[in-house]
Amino acid sequence: MDSLDYHQIKGYCREALEITDEYGVHDGLSYLIGEKFCPLIVALKQAESKTKYLYNSEEEDAIYNPTGNNDPMIRENYSLTVQGTYQKSLERLKDLKHLRDDFISEIKEAFELSDIQDFLESYPRLGFKDKKQPFWEQALAEDADSLEFEDILSEVDDIFMVEEIKNYFC
């Protein structure tokens, strides 16, 4: 995700439109959302988890103080410590949010909103992870008893990811 920029996002959208022309909307969106957009969302979630318990300088009143003392000097010292220690993480989070917003607007520009929503309602498998094959294909090829636990968890992860992505395209 470090090398992703606006021009690359536009390139992904063009590639997705070419895939759509050749193979259909579902395949185009599988490429764009499932393979290119999802890694950005995962990186954003990881960055958010690193900064989850930090506070902005604008939220000084909300800063947790374990001593119960509302001394402005303690709050200021905490804010400066957070900014000094976690500045890179906070900047990365800000950059990833900006890229996510750019990506969403480009996807909406490239595809009809109804096509995007239909694609997401089909709960597609997301191709951003290294998967052998979808579990339903495995189940058809082998005994249902031979499904691996990791495959089932991967499927569940995809469902949760799709639910999260749906919120961006309502």
Say which range, 27-36, 113-122, 136-145, has the weakest mean pLDDT: 136-145
Segment of 104-113, 121-130, 153-162 carrying the highest mean pLDDT? 104-113
* Residues 103/9, Cβ–Cβ less than 8 Å: yes
Q: Is the pTM of this model over 0.75?
A: no
Q: What is the mean pLDDT of residues 22-39?
A: 94
DSSP-assigned states of every residue in 10-75: HHHHHHHHHHHHHH-HHHHHIIIIIIIIHHHHHHHHHHHHHTTT---GGGGGG---TT----HHHH
Residue 140: in which H helix or E strand, if any?
helix 135-141
- Cα–Cα dist 128/10, whole Å: 18
The band of 88, judged by pLDDT with boundaries at 50, 70 and 90, is confident
Residue 71 pLDDT: 72
CA distances to 38, 96, 135 from 151, rounded to whole Å, are 18, 29, 6
Q: What is the mean pLDDT of residues 134-160?
A: 67
Residue 86 pLDDT: 77
* Residues 128/136, Cβ–Cβ less than 8 Å: no
